[in-house]
Amino acid sequence: MPPSLPTELIARFTARPRWRRELACVAGAVALAAVVALVFALPGRDRSIADHPAVKAGHRLVAVGFEDLPGFSADDPSEAFAAFLRSCGHGRDESRLADVCLKAEALSDPDADAVRAFFVGNFRPYRVEPKDGAAVYTAYYEPVVPGSRVKTGRFATPLYPLPAGLEPVTGKTRPEGWDETLTWGRRTERGFEPFYTRAEIDGGALDGAVKPLVYVEDSVEAFYIHIQGSTRIALPDGALMRVGFAGKNGHPYSSVGKAMQAKGIVPDGGFSMDAMRAYFRANPDITPSLLQENRSYIFFREIAGLAPDLGPIGGEGVPLTAGRSIAVDTAYHRYGTPVFVDAELPIGKDRAREPFRRLMIAQDTGSAIKGPARADLFWGTGREAGSMAGGIKADGSFFVFVPKP
């Protein structure tokens, strides 16, 4: 009878010799472990996803197949693979990404199909679904501008190196009551304090205290170099100097374009990079106060020995690759992570929107790049790249590749 069945089973089990009971327990444990392993081996089941920073913050990572990535099979991922190898060669940790790097480095001169097979064989794609909207893409570039190592009548606006005593805020250095929006500070005789704002630095706060690294033509040129985070400077003797990000004053980035909109100022041509630059040039009386709406200020370092065909050094510490490197929010994605971009960008004739579906590698970050599906595409070097990058802002889909367990 059913009510007595459990009692009978227990009696039979306990009546067995001890070795048979222990063997049954071991067999049951092995069977249970096999079932658990099978569950987590199924597509889309990866225990690490629950621990992903985006998921912990309340966003969603939805498992998809590579066949669900629009344009993945048509994209030649060879340049992305080369960028991935640069990330692998920069540094190693104990993550699963480090294990994948070992496999990547073992490949010998792979063609596009072999590279695609490598990503398919070692990663699982997940669509990132932010809790507060869609993926947002913008683009940036490396400017090439004239300048001088010494101050002249033409070149009088400085780019500064990192001042002594300026450092990122940490749990150890953060004073009680510190403004959480301030991410860098300075050591003074009075203790750890906020650094000067853009307006204060423009007003001469660093004069005589910090020797400029190089000089450019005006504050507008300097401002755009700050936005991009790096530049190539054509010196009067024909030499080319490269500078990159060294640190910042710690004040939060704020959009000058939004500040202009709030004041009712709309440049001819809207708020593209070229239109805003033209407006600043045509209105020198109010331009300084507009630029100072962004309190954030960037400091630079000279970068020597970088091959001309390589992009600037990104936040990861490796050269960026035009069209294959991407800046992400490192609160959600570690450097070296492959990201597949699916968006409609204004990159066609007369800025018509065209599909942009491409595998890219997370190798940089930026003050304005916040969120699990917010990204900045590195477009290249020079004015043409800048003109294209400045007009890019679009929603889309953001797919992150997670190493297989």
Sheet bearing 166-168, strands edge to edge: 166-168, 184-188, 191-194
- What pLDDT sits at residue 37? 41
pLDDT exceeds cutoff 90 at 172: no
pLDDT at 371: 96
Nearest to 230 by CA among 119, 351, 318: 318
- The answer to whether 322 and 378 are in contact (CB under 8 A) is yes
The per-residue pLDDT for range 179-221, each reduced to its tens digit, is 989 999 998 888 899 999 999 999 999 999 999 999 999 999 9
15 or 317, which is more confident?
317
Helices and strands (H and E) in the chain: how many: 13, 17
- In this predicted structure, the answer to whether residue 3 has a pLDDT above a threshold of 50 is no
Contact 245, 300 (CB under 8 A): yes
Collect all residues with Cβ–Cβ distance below 8 Å to 394 and sequence separation of at least 6: 136, 137, 343, 344, 345, 346, 353
What element of type H or E holds 287? Answer: helix 287-291
d(CA 122, CA 401): 9
User: Can you give the pLDDT at residue 2?
Assistant: 42
- Entry pTM: 0.76
- Binned at pLDDT 50, 70 and 90, residue 5 comes out as very low
Cα gap 336→260, rounded to integer Å: 36
- pLDDT cut 70: percent of the chain above it: 87
The pLDDT assigned to 30 comes to 42
Q: For residue 127, what are its two tokens?
A: 């669509």
Q: What pLDDT score was predicted for residue 34?
A: 44
What is the spatial distance between Cα 132 and Cα 203, in angstroms, rounded to a whole number? Answer: 39
The answer to whether residue 131 scores a pLDDT higher than 70 is yes
Q: What is the pLDDT, as a whole number, of residue 17?
A: 52
Q: Which of 20-24, 174-178, 260-264, 371-375 has the lowest mean pLDDT?
A: 20-24
> What pLDDT score does 9 carry?
41
Q: In three state form, how does the secondary structure of 27-93 look?
A: HHHHHHHHHHHHHHHCCCCCHHHHCCHHHHCCCEEEECCHHHCCCCCCCCCHHHHHHHHHHHHHCCC
Residue range 247-275: mean pLDDT, rounded: 91
- Average pLDDT score over the chain: 88
What type of residue is 21?
R
| Distance spanning both ends of the chain, measured CA to CA | 47
Strand partners, 394: 137
pLDDT digits (tens, 9 = 90+) for 45-96: 566 699 999 999 999 999 999 999 999 999 999 999 999 999 998 866 667 8
